[in-house]
């Protein structure tokens, strides 16, 4: 039943997404650039946006970069009724040579196509969209902030734009990309966060869509987040099943470091079983850890584990550290987890985080800001 | 954790939704009315639409009925990214005295508030919105078609309109109502449909939001629907769990009639356990059946049952009939269910449906079109 993304794409005999057809229409009224300390995540945007329309009849239309502008939608548009919508989160960084770099955008393109396929929105060749995003970055490069922790957040979004209240396969869609200069996601910066382990509400389930970056996965999480906030927690740690399996945080994947019985360290995160977002940062953490941590001292695991396991490890002094990993916050140290009546305290050996958390954040930062070349993970926009 | 809707509403000290503040701005370019046989579900709309804006700061704004028009949304609007959206489906009917009647709209208002509360969108007093809808109906009454099976489909919709990519509680929203003249939902009319019992994809989960009328529940169902269509089925019959519990159809709740061991008939539907939409038609079917069917011959059950139960009943000749129930299709007879390698054939004793299906459809129709007064189920728009 699951076709590969490539097959779907090749099945499509209509116009493919073609970056070479790009039309650029520059703004005549440039926006003011805000100082770094005035940046709020996702609140202000660059001068331009990228748009590509798609119809079932003709395929992908002409890509256009034009001044940032409102969208005009009929009130019957399916994105407003049936959540035909998905997005990606990517960041662009300014390196010391003033190049603008994106981080593993190819992974975002693959995931975006998987999300699109799951809700019958059109797929496309990822490299074409990456090239178009590069053009947007070159045009709006002055909005990419300087400084550690600062970047230009990119939001590729795909919405169904058919105008009909019948629930059926979209015959029109709009892919757009907007860009917002941002600082650290949490107002607290690289400060540890507290999570509430949540089991009364369930984010995702087997056979559902929790592993796709669909809008549908987000609105339902806000009320539990509000409830957690009332009790002093910044985010929910989503548990699954009677066993209390640890899944993810909703805006981040989650990693723990345990001391094992034979004195090694285990870096562990939940496996991609269909209930967990396939995070690009998650993948990067795993790959860097496998590559850089000494294998005689470290075990890197994608396996199921429960909140009870974490509580037991903590009680025995074998919980070393924990952190969230996601594009918005990159790496976010965890200081405590509220679970039923107990508070699981997570050590912060490096001050505001664990030692590995700090190390991994730095490894990723160096690649993102182009200080270190690593595989093909960093791409210079041209 | 669950507040009642009323409490939430009363907690709100800002402006409540107030129908008496309505401003009407009439169109100067009325739309052409289509002949009944040209009507397509949700494709054409009446001359006007209702809108009410909400802000966290000021509460509900001035309700406005104005010419049907496009919405203007910033590309960062949260409805486009995080599925802050919910809707209701209601119908208005023309009676023989040319009154325009709605059917149990109070139930829709209660459900709409529950949906809103679940994703932190604002709640409101249902009677106020019903009064506003009445005004829209009076103004656009010429669009309400004449004839059995024809009606004006009403789509109250509530979307989050905050302009920010942060995932948090909406501080702006828009409630709008559009109206589409419609005929029978399925092109086939009151003709029996075939369902594919689906277990590889899962519509809803305990602790999820499958019992709310959120946009989030709909887009993920279209791919399985497309897969079912390829195999010749019109809709999915959503199963749950290894047991194969029958839940609902996604656009309809589902009812079966079984012959019991002591020779009675059992009308059975799945219970409201949090995975099933609280259908207004479902509730009406249950209430009418309890009221009108002789209790010495009929058992009316809301209980868990499985696709295996249905297959076994069918094999023994004890499956009498089955139908879907929902606002769009009202009552929709089922003729067959594909399950793994077998085809469960459902008897159609009354030709295009079972006897009870036909009877219940007629009971509901008589109330909807004002031929029979029943409790307070039909409301004349004034």
Each residue's pLDDT tens digit, A151-171? 999 999 999 999 999 999 999
Per the prediction, chain A carries an average pLDDT of 94
Residues of A within 8 A of B197 (CB-CB) are none
The CA distances from residue B132 to A177, B1, B138, B171, B328, in Å, are: 38, 31, 10, 23, 22
Q: Does A176 contact B75 at a Cβ distance shorter than 8 Å?
A: yes
Q: What is the pLDDT of residue A70?
A: 98
Pick the closest to residue B86 from B217, B177, B214 (CA basis).
B214
Q: What is the pLDDT of residue B10?
A: 42
Please give the distance of CA B324 from its chain centroid, rounded to a whole number: 12
The model's confidence at residue A148, banded by pLDDT at 50, 70 and 90, is confident
Query: How far apart are the CA of B226 and the nearest CA of chain A, in angstroms?
Result: 8
What are the tens digits of pLDDT across the range A251-263?
A: 899 999 999 999 9
Query: How far apart are the CA of A273 and the nearest CA of chain B, in angstroms?
Result: 14
Residues of A within 8 A of B225 (CB-CB) are 167-168
Residues of B within 8 A of A245 (CB-CB) are none
Tell me the count of A-B CB pairs closer than 8 A. 209
Classify B224 as helix, strand or coil: helix
Nearest CA in chain A to B153: A165
Q: Measured between alpha carbons, how far is B43 from A164 in angstroms, rounded to an integer?
A: 5
Q: Does A41 contact B165 at a Cβ distance shorter than 8 Å?
A: yes
Which of A80, A200, A215 is opposite residue B157, by nearest beta carbon?
A: A80
Which of A41, A119, A163 is opposite residue B222, by nearest beta carbon?
A: A119
What are the tens digits of pLDDT across the range A171-213?
A: 999 999 999 999 876 655 578 999 999 999 999 999 999 999 9
Q: What is the 3-state secondary structure (H, E, C) of chain A?
A: CCCCHHHHHHHCCCECCCHHHCEECCCCCCCCCCCHHHCCCCCCCCCEEEEEEEECCCEECCCEEEECCCEEECCCEHHHCCCCEEECCEEEEECCCCCEEEECHHHHHHHHHHHHHHCCCCCCCHHHHHHHHHHHHHHCHHHCCCCCCCEEEEEEEEEECCECCCCCCCCEEEEEEEEEEECCCCCCCCCCEEEEEECCCCCCCCCCCCCCCEHHHCHHHHHHHHHHHHCCCCEEEEEECCCCEEEECCCCEEEEEEECCCCCEEEEECCCCCCCCCCHHHHHHHHHHHHHCCCCCEEEEECCCEHHHHHHHHHCCCEEEEEEEECCCEEEEEEEEEECCEEEECCCCCCCCCHHHHHHHHHHHHHHCCCCCCCCCEEECC
Q: What is the pLDDT of residue A344?
A: 98
Q: What is the pLDDT of residue B251?
A: 87
Q: Does B216 contact A83 at a Cβ distance shorter than 8 Å?
A: yes
Query: How far apart are the CA of B284 and the nearest CA of chain A, in angstroms?
Result: 23
Q: Is the dihedral of CA B197, B201, B205, B209 positive or negative?
A: negative
Contact at 8 Å (CB) between A381 and A92? yes
B217 CB contacts (<8 Å, ≥6 apart)?
A83, A216, B203, B204, B209, B210, B250, B277
- Residues with pLDDT less than 70, chain B: 1-13, 185-189
ipTM, 2 decimals?
0.95
For testing contact with chain A, the best of B179, B220, B275 (most A CBs within 10 A): B220
Q: What is the pLDDT of residue A189?
A: 59
Q: What is the pLDDT of residue A99?
A: 97
Residues of B within 8 A of A250 (CB-CB) are 167
Classify B108 as helix, strand or coil: helix
Q: Measured between alpha carbons, how far is A153 from A185 in angstroms, rounded to an integer?
A: 10
What are the tens digits of pLDDT across the range B352-364?
A: 999 999 999 999 9
The CA distances from residue B351 to B298, B354, B357, in Å, are: 22, 7, 11
The model's confidence at residue A13, banded by pLDDT at 50, 70 and 90, is low
Which of B40, B165, B206 is opposite residue A155, by nearest beta carbon?
A: B165
Residues of A within 8 A of B74 (CB-CB) are 70-71
Pick the closest to residue B236 from B215, B217, B222 (CA basis).
B222
Nearest CA in chain B to A81: B215
Q: What is the pLDDT of residue B328?
A: 85
Token pair 């009224």 in the structure block, residue: A29
Residues of A within 8 A of B250 (CB-CB) are 167
- Beta bridge partner(s), residue B24: B65
| Domain architecture of chain B: domains with CATH | 11-183 (3.30.470.10), 193-368 (3.20.10.10)
E strands along B260-305, which residues?
265-269, 298-302
Q: Is the pLDDT of residue A307 over 70?
A: yes
Query: How far apart are the CA of A73 and the nearest CA of chain B, in angstroms?
Result: 5
Q: What is the pLDDT of residue B4?
A: 35
Nearest CA in chain A to B72: A72
Q: Does B167 contact A222 at a Cβ distance shorter than 8 Å?
A: yes
Which of A1, A82, A87 is opposite residue B81, by nearest beta carbon?
A: A87
């Amino acid at each position: 039943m699951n076709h590969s993304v490539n097959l779907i794409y090749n099945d499509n005999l209509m116009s493919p997404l073609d970056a070479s057809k790009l039309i650029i229409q520059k703004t005549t009224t440039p926006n003011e650039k805000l100082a770094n300390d005035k940046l709020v995540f996702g609140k202000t945007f660059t001068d331009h946006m990228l748009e590509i329309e798609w119809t079932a009849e003709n395929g992908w239309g002409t890509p256009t970069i034009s001044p940032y502008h409102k969208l005009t939608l009929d009130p019957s548009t399916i994105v407003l009724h049936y959540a035909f919508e998905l997005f990606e989160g990517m960041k662009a960084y300014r390196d010391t040579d003033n190049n603008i770099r994106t981080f593993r955008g190819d992974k975002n393109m693959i995931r975006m196509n998987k999300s699109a396929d799951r809700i019958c929105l059109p797929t496309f060749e990822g490299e074409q969209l990456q090239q178009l995003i590069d053009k947007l970055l070159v045009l709006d490069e002055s909005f990419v902030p300087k400084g550690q922790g600062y970047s230009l957040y990119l939001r590729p979004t795909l919405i169904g734009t058919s105008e009909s209240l019948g629930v059926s396969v979209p015959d029109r869609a709009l892919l757009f990309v907007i860009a917002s200069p941002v600082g650290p996601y949490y107002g607290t910066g690289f400060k540890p966060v507290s999570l509430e382990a949540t089991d009364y509400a369930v984010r995702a389930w087997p056979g559902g869509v929790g592993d796709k970056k669909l809008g549908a996965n987000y609105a339902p999480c806000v009320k539990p987040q509000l409830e957690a906030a009332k009790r002093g927690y910044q985010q929910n740690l989503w548990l699954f099943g009677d066993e209390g399996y640890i899944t993810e945080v909703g805006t981040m994947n989650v990693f723990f470091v345990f001391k094992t019985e034979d004195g090694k360290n285990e870096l562990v995160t939940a496996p991609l079983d269909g209930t967990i977002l396939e995070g690009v940062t998650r993948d990067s953490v795993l790959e860097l850890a496998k590559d850089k941590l000494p294998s005689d001292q470290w075990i890197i695991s994608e396996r199921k584990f429960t909140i009870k396991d974490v509580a037991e490890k903590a009680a025995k002094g074998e919980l070393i550290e924990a952190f969230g990993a996601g594009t918005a916050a990159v790496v976010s140290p965890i200081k405590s987890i509220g679970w039923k009546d107990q508070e699981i305290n997570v050590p912060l050996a490096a001050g505001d985080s664990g030692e590995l958390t700090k190390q991994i954040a730095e490894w990723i930062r160096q690649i993102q800001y182009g200080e270190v070349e690593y595989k093909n993970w960093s791409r210079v926009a041209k």
